[in-house]
Amino acid sequence: MNAKTEQGETGLDRSAIHLLHRAGQCAADIFSDEVSTGGLTPRQFAVLVAVSRNEGQSQTDLVEQTGIDRSTLADIVRRMLKKGLLSRKRTRADARAYAVRLTAAGRDALSASEPAATSADARVLAALPAAKRDEFLASLATIVNAIDGARR
């Protein structure tokens, strides 16, 4: 049964929320294909990248940098601690906060997965004409920045 409207579209074909979600699912699948040997998820990769750029930052800082919500980030960090990819210890300035660092295994995982992540990005962007790729990335950044700014 075809649920198309008179205009030839389902309601979901014009839903930004649905299409962004589906695009995210497709991108995550491509990332998983590319990074298959490392076993990292896109969010774990994002955490490794964020930590590598500022060793010793707090989990709160990571929430702000990655956009991953606090409870999900705490779970991701816990799993990455168990895998030996991250280490953390309480900070001197705030005994409630943890300073997060990459372990040697975390550095290796990041180095090993960076080419695959780059390839995944290229595969996703290949769905667009080359002339539209920069505009697409700028549009996504505009959406993220506007919504994050409105939340704060």
Summarised one tens digit per residue, pLDDT across range 87-101 is 998 877 777 778 899
User: pLDDT by residue (tens digit) across 102-131?
Assistant: 999 999 999 999 999 999 999 999 999 999
User: pLDDT by residue (tens digit) across 55-78?
Assistant: 998 998 999 999 999 999 999 999
Report pTM.
0.83
- Closest C-alpha among 41, 73, 48, 49 to residue 60: 73
The percent of residues above 90 in pLDDT, for the chain, comes to 68
Tell me if 63 is assigned to some domain: yes
Tell me if 9 is assigned to some domain: no
Tell me if 103 is assigned to some domain: yes
Strand extents, DSSP E, 68-149: 86-90, 98-102
Tell me if 1 is assigned to some domain: no
pLDDT the model gives residue 7: 46
Beta-sheet pairing, 57-58 with 98-102:
antiparallel
* Higher per-residue confidence, 151 vs 35: 35
Tell me if 146 is assigned to some domain: no
**Paired strand residues for 100:** 57, 88
pLDDT the model gives residue 9: 66
**Which domain covers residue 54, as residue numbers?**
15-125
Say if residue 83's pLDDT is above 80. Answer: yes
Rounded Cα–Cα distance for residues 6 and 36 (Å): 43
CA-to-CA dists, residue 44 to 22, 48, 54, 95, 150, angstroms:
20, 6, 16, 25, 26
State the CATH number of the domain containing residue 24. 1.10.10.10
Number of domains in the chain: 1
Which of the four pLDDT bands, split at 50, 70 and 90, describes residue 1? very low
Tell me if 7 is assigned to some domain: no
Cα torsion through 103, 105, 109, 112, rounded to 10: 120
